[in-house]
Amino acid sequence: MIKKSLSRLATLFLYLISLLPFWFLYFISDILFVIFYYITGYRRKVVEENLRNSFPEKSEAERKQIEKKYFKYLADLVVETIKLISISEKEAKRRMFTVNPELMDHYFSQGKSILGATSHYGNWEMAALRFGLLTDKKRLIVYKPLSNAIFDDFFNKTRSRFGTTMISMKLALRKMIEYKNELTFSIFAADQTPVRTDDNYFTTFLHQPTAVFMGIEKLAQVGDAVVVFYRIDVIKRGYYAGTIVPLTETPKQTKPFEITESHVKYLESMIQAKPEYWLWSHRRWKIKPPLVH
């Protein structure tokens, strides 16, 4: 009961903070950066290890520069995500521009649904909120629920404010079948760590054996949906561009793992170009490949 009350107070506090103007939130972000990076050292060991393993070709000084830029951006990401709780449609559209929305109409006019891989790169929470304003067709986001039910409900209500339907990962297939007669645009965070199983698919991602979520490939082939990558680019502080990048228009004609490899390699190229905008403080490589005897 006490935990629930504290969680509700925390969500009220976040809402009140979200009412502050961006310029003041970025002042808070500058303070958060100092706290994260210099005072608490928040997950710095995790970030250092991830960067070292992902960029063995870079010098320690180069990796340290990426690390510092990452924590600077992470602080911005925190305050921007809080701002999304109360941001208006007009401001959301101004803050995140969609480069090629006409591509959705092109596929929908052919009677094809769209499956989009995306990642924890740039402000994915702003992209999730903005996704609700992309089209009048059904918009679905497949997500991994938080352990705290109150926060999970609170953030899902924020993400779905502009009409997006949130779907738990374990219900994804059931919902896709339910909506099979409708045109839909579904988004998956493809860089999430999958559930640990004996048959996890592993690929090489950023120089490391990496377990990969196979849901996009399986659902694309079941529904014969076009597969795209929903790319998020940071234009400047607080401003983003979303681009729909086609990966395959004929999923049933692809080879096993071809779709999965395509979105993994695309994300890898984005990270290698501008690494500071990916979520380095996440323990992405918890699942290890089985030992070969």
So where are the chain's domains? Answer: 2-277
Q: Is 257 left (phi over 0), alpha (psi -120 to 50) or beta?
A: left
CATH 3.40.1130 holds for 2-277: yes
Q: Is the pLDDT of residue 172 over 70?
A: yes
Distances (CA, A) of 87 to 22, 79, 160, 174, 237: 10, 12, 13, 32, 16
What's residue 93's pLDDT? 96
Query: Per-residue pLDDT tens for 134-156?
Result: 999 999 998 888 777 877 788 88
Provide the Cα torsion 124, 129, 134, 138; round to 10°.
110
Average confidence (pLDDT) over 30-58:
97
For the chain, the average pLDDT equals: 92
**Residue 293: pLDDT band with limits 50, 70, 90:** very low
Q: Check if the beta carbon of residue 114 is closer than 8 Å to that of residue 104.
A: yes
Angle CA 87–149–278, to nearest 5: 55
Looking at the chain, the whole-number percentage of residues with pLDDT higher than 90 is 75
**Residue 113 · residue 185 · CB < 8 Å:** yes
- pLDDT, tens digit (0-9, with 9 covering 90-100), for 72-124: 999 999 999 999 999 999 999 999 999 999 999 999 999 999 999 999 999 99
